[in-house]
Amino acid sequence: MDAVGGRQPSDQDEADGRPGNAADARASSLSVSREADRFSTALVAIVSLGYAAITYVGILQNVGGTEAVLSTVYAVALVALQLGYFSRPGARLTPVRSAVALTAFAALTYLPLVQLGSYWSAFNGFLAGCLLIALPLRWGLGGYLLVVLGSSLVERRFGADDLEPTFAVTYAVIATAVTGLVIFGLTRLARVVRELHEAREELTRMAVAEERVRFSRDAHDLLGMSLSTITLKAELANGLVLSEPHRAHAEIAEVITTARRALGEVRMVAAGYTTLSLPEELWGAQSVLQAAEIDTSVHGADVVLPAEVGSLFGTLVREAATNVLRHSKAEVCHMAVTREGPSVRMAISNDRAGEGDESSAERPPCTRRGIANLRQRFAEQGGTLTVRHEDDEFIVVGVLPNSGGAD
């Protein structure tokens, strides 16, 4: 059992969703995401090159000489334009660029028909797919249907004479439609995978930032009182070394105990396990404040609360006790926990507020980092945290819903 009311984090705690384990899971997830990104991009390239290669081989079997050279140039230009712009996952498809690219793609799709005939018409499907990729849905679908239906006219005008016309037209229309959908589907898949990968990276960056905030907040909330206690006890022991060596020895022993507890708290923060026990925090704060010759009273320490509520109130006790020691010359401090219908209220007050270190007089207590952190945490649990001055008295009041608490 730890002196702060919790326990040392075990290996099982770290395996059950603790920050270190979660970071490893996020790294593994990102690795899988990168592999999926590469695979989808490679799949688009392989399928596109495969379709182009089949068409190109068919052309070379029927043409030769200059026409073969030109068909090579046309095919390379078409595939480069498609993979380099339309089907590249990271490409920005702006209206102007897309208009220029589609015009060039259409020219490379239809003009070579004059030289190469229907052997080149297989590239109609590439144009149909690029229209779906580059244009808004309504316009892209319209362009896709126009190219698919237009492939029948291309086949009638440039088709080979040795094929039955109805079969040739039907084949051209179906081939164009299917090729266009395959090109569009694979490209869209690659882009969705890329977007997912980028979203995961952003979530990872946000998770890292949140973890830094959590670590900083928990370190402040948990260690502030322990370090203040060590300082207080060490100063007290230093003043008693000559006059009361036995008491000085006892104070030094408490310093060692508190330092060990602080070490355990550091481990708790690193492991993400920061549950505190309210009764033990109240007892510990009362002990430290009384050691500083502050008359401290505690009421309601035996109130049964849900773990989360008790832990957050325990953190409030630590912060308030630390502020009493560091930012006041208090002589009296009161801590009380009470039920108010469906809520639980904790009030902590001390006199002679603002008479401590000089830095505290330059900034209001409500702007201190610890209070700001606690306000956020209370709000996250549906509660409120208020601070106020009444004459020379400083009062902190925290209210939380008592969901799950025992009556």
Confidence category of residue 406, pLDDT binned at 50, 70, 90: very low
CA distance linking residue 332 with residue 322, whole number of Å: 14
pLDDT for 39: 80
pTM as predicted = 0.52
Rounded distance between C-alpha atoms, residue 51 and residue 45, angstroms: 10
pLDDT at position 116:
78
CA dihedral of residues 77, 82, 85, 86 (deg, nearest 10): 150
Instruction: Identify the H or E element spanning 252.
Output: helix 245-271
Query: Which string of b and e fits 168-201 if b means at least 16 CB within 10 Å?
Result: bbeebbebbbebbbbbbebbbbbbebbeebeebe
- pLDDT attached to residue 24: 56
Position 388: which residue type? R
Q: Say which DSSP state 163 is in.
A: S
- Is pLDDT larger for residue 32 or for residue 38? 38
pLDDT of 384-397, one tens digit each? 999 988 888 899 99
Tell me which amino acid residue 329 is.
K
Instruction: Give dist(CA 278, CA 59) in Å, integer.
Output: 82
Residue 326's pLDDT is 78
Centre a 10 Å sphere on the Cβ of residue 97 and count the other Cβ atoms it contains: 13
| Whole-number pLDDT of residue 270 | 60
Determine the CATH number of domain 276-407. Answer: 3.30.565.10
Q: Quick one: tokens of 18?
A: 């603790």
Contacts for 126 with CB less than 8 Å, ≥ 6 apart: 48, 51, 52, 78, 82, 105, 109, 179, 180, 183
- Give the model confidence (pLDDT) of 107-164 as tens digits: 998 888 887 777 788 888 899 999 999 999 899 999 999 999 988 888 777 765 556 7
125 vs 16: which has the higher pLDDT:
125
- In the chain, what are the domain boundaries? 19-203, 276-407
With a cut of 80, say whether residue 93 has pLDDT above it.
Answer: yes
